[in-house]
Structure 1
Amino acid sequence: MKTSLAAAAPPLLSLVLLLGAWEALVRVLAVPAYLLPPPSQIAAAFAADATTLGLATWTTAKSALLGFALSGVIGVLVAVALSASRLLERAFYPYAVFLQTVPIVAIAPLLVLWFGPGERAVSVSAFIVSVFPVVANALSGLRSVEPALRDLFRLYGAGKLRTLLLLSLPSSLPSIVTGLRIAGGLAVIGAIVGEFVAGFAEGTPGLGILIMSAPRQLRTDLLFAAVLCASALGLGLFGATNLGGWLLLRRWHPSEKS
């Protein structure tokens, strides 16, 4: 407990100092609230619009989680398929790289045409942004299995499926977890960008809609609050992935041992 408190003290102290300086400078320089609200006004916006922020966060979280889950499952399956053949990898891996380099804002209107406005298009946007790190890291892990262990499995007559399930996938778990950690934050970004374009068809608008609408109402405090909610969502997804990775790897992999 003392070690945890000692580790948390410096960032917490710097945060308090930063917020105090921000509050003081905004008030001393009389900066208009619509340009840069003080932290106290942002905190008041959290309290006044707690229900709106909570519902918007939940709406975005559903799309981000769906996109993240799809990227995890499909990303690992694609990596397994590519690792089975160098020819297959050379043929299709460049398209995975291309998918990562295309700006999601540019193809988001197509997603609206194909999937309609709302949660489906936003989830696909989150998936497109977050799938490449899973593919790249899983493929790297699958390619990095010790050749001696592969030879040992081959010596004992293990087939390709058995080798994959008992050797390749367990050995590549650290790399897969790393890819999922990156994908978690990217899924939230993809969902927010998807909401900028896809909007919402029915129900409660997400954080992306709130972020776009708040400046038009000169509610910069609400804009900051929505951005903080999006950041907290990304951190929560990253933390959940970290916890899952720790539970999977803590007993046998050095990276998760304390």
Structure 2
Amino acid sequence: MAAVEERRSAALALDPEEARRARGARLERVGRWLLPILIMVAAVWLWDRLCVWNEIPRYILPRPGVVAATLITDRALLFSSLLVTLRITFLSLLLAVFGGVGLAILFTQSKWVEMSFFPFAIVLQVTPIVAIFPLINIYVDNQTAKLLLCSWIVAFFPILSNTTLGLNSVDRNLLDLFRLNGASRWQQLRLLKLPAAMPYFLGGLKIAGGLSLIGAVVAEFVAGASGQSSGLASRIIEAGYRLNAPRLFAALFLISLTGILIFLALSLVSHLALRRWHESALSAER
């Protein structure tokens, strides 16, 4: 038996088609990380050379080294503002998760509730936040509550919509099997519908994670908040007024980096939650 397995392994090792596929898989794994890094390095180098070749003043377009130096010299101000933005982002995302999942469960338990309230969720989603904010500004006194509400409105709908779709996409044969075995509505929800909706919820969560950051930044732009307890959007506005382009680019860099890290973190959570049973994660591991 061992000899047969050894000959089979040797045949596979000598198979040119199998070897070509193995090389292609290795190259794809390396290229998935290497190519974006190389492109980013090339873009930064080109940015720096354009500033040098055209002698562009730093108050119009600073060189990458100047932006990096600004990140260090202004780190106390920038990172304190980053914490404010992150607080609004994660609080709004947390509220969007609880509100979106809770309302989606209500929708699946009662079609009357879904028909009554889903149009209001659509109205909130399709109405620009800059149009809603004047009303929020009238009725809400607390500045943090204003920003939190604006960011929540932006992040809420993807979770609600995706989770509702997942809960309604349960295999009808399995649902009939649960009913034939006398499962209660709570048992159907807990043992069948919620696990089936998990991939949809996680997909909506990845979308909502980025939207909550966008909503927090846009809300602060619209609110025009200022002062030491302000977020990164206020630093961008302030730097624009003062023609402090290096600080403006540094704040933009922190916002972009934060968005990338949020997406990667939520993608990791999705992969860890689905890798042992869902086809989307299983195919990624092959």
TM-score range, shorter chain: over 0.9
Alignment match, 2:164: 139
Give 1:84 deviation, angstroms: 2.2
The runs of 5 or more residues in structure 2 that have no matched partner are 1-25
Mapped pair 1:37 → 2:62: yes
- Decide which of 39, 43, 48 is 1:18's aligned counterpart: 43
Q: Is the 8 A contact 1:118 1:201 kept in 2?
A: no
Alignment match, 1:64: 89
Alignment match, 2:129: 104
Cα distance change of structure 1 residues 27 and 71 upon mapping to structure 2, 3 Å threshold:
same
Q: Is the 8 A contact 1:118 1:199 kept in 2?
A: no
Give 1:196 deviation, angstroms: 1.8
Alpha-carbon distance between aligned partners in 2 of 1:124 and 1:202, rounded to the nearest angstrom? 20
Give 1:6 deviation, angstroms: 4.0
- Aligned Cα root-mean-square deviation (Å): 1.8
Alpha-carbon distance between aligned partners in 2 of 1:8 and 1:52, rounded to the nearest angstrom? 32
Alignment match, 1:208: 233
- Decide which of 231, 234, 255 is 1:230's aligned counterpart: 255
Mapped pair 1:192 → 2:217: yes
TM-score (normalizing by structure 2) = 0.85
Q: Is the 8 A contact 2:91 2:148 kept in 1?
A: yes
Amino acid paired to 1:82: F
Alignment match, 1:88: 113
Give 1:85 deviation, angstroms: 3.0
Alignment match, 1:173: 198
Give 1:171 deviation, angstroms: 0.5
Alpha-carbon distance between aligned partners in 2 of 1:26 and 1:202, rounded to the nearest angstrom? 32
Q: Is the 8 A contact 1:26 1:38 kept in 2?
A: yes
The 5 Å alignment of 1:46-57 reads 46-57=71-82
Alpha-carbon distance between aligned partners in 2 of 1:49 and 1:91, rounded to the nearest angstrom? 50
Give 1:94 deviation, angstroms: 1.7
Give 1:117 deviation, angstroms: 4.2
Alignment match, 1:113: 138
Q: Is the 8 A contact 1:79 1:138 kept in 2?
A: yes
Higher relative contact order (CA 8 A, sep 6+): 1
Alignment match, 1:243: 268
Q: Is the 8 A contact 1:117 1:200 kept in 2?
A: no
Alignment match, 2:277: 252
The runs of 5 or more residues in structure 1 that have no matched partner are none
Q: Is the 8 A contact 1:53 1:226 kept in 2?
A: yes
Structure 1 window deviating more from structure 2 (177-186 vs 51-60): it is 51-60
Give 1:218 deviation, angstroms: 0.7
Aligned length: 257
1:73-117 alpha-carbon deviations (Å, 9 max, x no partner):
100111111122333323321211110111111222332333324
Alpha-carbon distance between aligned partners in 1 of 2:226 and 2:56, rounded to the nearest angstrom? 38
Give 1:162 deviation, angstroms: 1.1
* SS in structure 2 of the partner of residue 158 of structure 1: coil
TM-score (normalizing by structure 1) = 0.93
Mapped pair 1:157 → 2:182: yes
Alpha-carbon distance between aligned partners in 1 of 2:30 and 2:80, rounded to the nearest angstrom? 33
Alpha-carbon distance between aligned partners in 1 of 2:123 and 2:168, rounded to the nearest angstrom? 21
Cα distance change of structure 1 residues 232 and 135 upon mapping to structure 2, 3 Å threshold:
same
Structure 1 window deviating more from structure 2 (220-229 vs 182-191): it is 220-229
Alpha-carbon distance between aligned partners in 2 of 1:163 and 1:151, rounded to the nearest angstrom? 10
